[in-house]
Structure 1
Amino acid sequence: MTETLKAVYVNGSLTPSPGESHTDLLIEASARILREQGVEVEVVRAVDHAIAPGVQPDMTEHGAAEDAWPAIWERVLAADILVLATPIWLGDASSTTRRVVERLYAESGELNEHGQSIYYGKVGGCLVGGNEDGMKHVAREVLYALQHLGCTIPPQADAGWVGEAGPGPSYGDELDDGSHAGADNDFTQRNITIMTWNLLHLARMLRGGIPTEGNDRNAWERGERFGFQNPEYR
């Protein structure tokens, strides 16, 4: 029997629970599709946890009084799909999201049993919300970070809602006519759906992992160069 796929969404909202999070509404629109396909979904609101700043796996070993990251990392490590969801502030991802990216980077030196980055085999995506411009900029930054760490990014792996430029309703806000901002927006609905299904398709394809030829760091340390040649040093 095929093992159940697992997905972790990390909500970079600046609002602690139980406060309402527009980013949570975007997450739920995507997560619902995965749950209906049998994926085990977990949502982590990062601001609820004492994630210490830094780029080490456990910052209590480097002077921090407390650090919730090691426990969160275990949940990320077990996931096949990792989605970073963030609001936009001043045209960029939230400070909470940036801290999560830095802590993900703290684990980038870890290798799997094949000598590959510990992130190999994980599929990454990005959700962005707000009521100001910058969705593509934020997605570019987040998805670059995820692929640099070793996650595989499927086509069209970002989606979100920014409404009209300038101050205005955020995703899910109730409007004067009783409707909710973004709920009937075809562009947002379509892109969330495409992103989610592409995450699922690629995660299923990668269940066997990525071939090790050319990316085994342990083999590189032993002197294997996988065909690389530097003409200046022949």
Structure 2
Amino acid sequence: MTLTKKQQALCDTHDFDFSDLSALFLNCTLKPTGTLSHTEHLLRVPYEIMKTNGIHVDMVRPVDLDIPPGVYPDMREHGFASDEWPELCEKVMAADILILATPIWLGEESSVCRRVIERLYGESGKLNDKDQSIYYGRVGGCIVTGNEDGIKHCAMTVFYALQHLGYVIPPQADAGWIGEAGPGPSYADEDSGGPENDFTQRNATFMTWNLMHLALLLKQAGGIPAHGNQRSAWQAGCRFDYPNPDYR
């Protein structure tokens, strides 16, 4: 997919250096690689913008992987014969930017998307070197496609999960496209109007740049300040700005 003239101009006319950032795109389609994914066609907009700006980008379809359900880092330790989540998790942890992309089914995000969120949750007990949640200092976005209403609902549930885990959500961090209600053309189908839809293209572009800008700001600032959000300090009795003479 090529960028529109407006999108390419935005990439060509700035002096920001995003080359130290990395992004992971998880396309939570139900279709394996090699099969047309309408969600991936829209996801290609932020992918190409970030790639053009020197960000290291990687796109994965979790449906290709053997990822069992569960809320532990490695479900092989809990009765499953195999689990490829730990390898995917390494990519998650290496990324400054995470975009979850999902189709809409019966008004909700895909089962694959929910499973990814469950597995992300399974890592939430880990801490970074500042004693904060392992996800602090990272930013999250969301892409949604479908043939029925539900873009805002799906984005809402995805963003609640991401921010609860520790991701920072910038303004206008979601984008989506849906066709007419009921059976009809999907985003990448001929004459769907999706790739030409100005509202969708604008939102996808704004989302991408907001993710890039905020990720860069956090990177330059060394992440989220470590005060008032350290678990071990709280467990030790510290109440931060409140009087607490017993805390050392």
Is TM more than 0.5 here? yes
Partners of 2:73 and 2:235 in 1: how far apart? 23
State the secondary structure of the residue aligned to 2:142: strand
Deviation (angstroms), 1:228: 5.0
* Residue in 2 that maps onto 1:28: 44
Partners of 1:95 and 1:106 in 2: how far apart? 17
Contact 2:97 2:140 in 1 (8 A): yes
Contact 2:146 2:178 in 1 (8 A): yes
Partners of 1:228 and 1:47 in 2: how far apart? 48
Tell me if 1:131 matches 2:150.
no
1:97 alignment partner AA: C
Deviation (angstroms), 1:227: 2.6
* Residue in 2 that maps onto 1:189: 201
Aligned mate of 2:121, from 94, 100, 105: 105
Report 1:49-68 matches (<5 A).
49-68=65-84
Q: What TM-score, normalized to structure 2?
A: 0.88
Tell me if 1:204 matches 2:216.
yes
* Structure 1 pair 56–182 and aligned structure 2 pair: CA distance change class (3 A): same
* Residue in 2 that maps onto 1:232: none
Partners of 2:193 and 2:80 in 1: how far apart? 41
- What are the Cα deviations for residues 83-128 of structure 1, in whole angstroms up to 9, with x where unaligned? 0000000000000000000000000100001110000011000000
1:210 alignment partner AA: I
Contact 2:19 2:55 in 1 (8 A): no
Report 1:3-14 matches (<5 A).
4-14=20-30
Aligned mate of 2:230, from 196, 216, 219: 216
* Residue in 1 that maps onto 2:185: 169
* Structure 1 pair 2–25 and aligned structure 2 pair: CA distance change class (3 A): closer
Q: CA RMSD in A?
A: 1.4
1:49 alignment partner AA: L
State the secondary structure of the residue aligned to 1:25: helix
Q: Which runs of 4+ in 1 moved over 2 A?
A: none
Q: What TM-score, normalized to structure 1?
A: 0.93
1:142 alignment partner AA: V
1:151 alignment partner AA: Y
Partners of 2:24 and 2:31 in 1: how far apart? 19
Structure 1 unaligned residues grouped into runs of 5+: 230-234
1:225 alignment partner AA: R
- What are the Cα deviations for residues 130-163 of structure 1, in whole angstroms up to 9, with x where unaligned? 1110000000000110000000000011001012
Partners of 1:202 and 1:219 in 2: how far apart? 27
Structure 2 unaligned residues grouped into runs of 5+: 1-16, 244-248
Tell me if 1:153 matches 2:165.
no
* Alignment size in residue pairs: 225
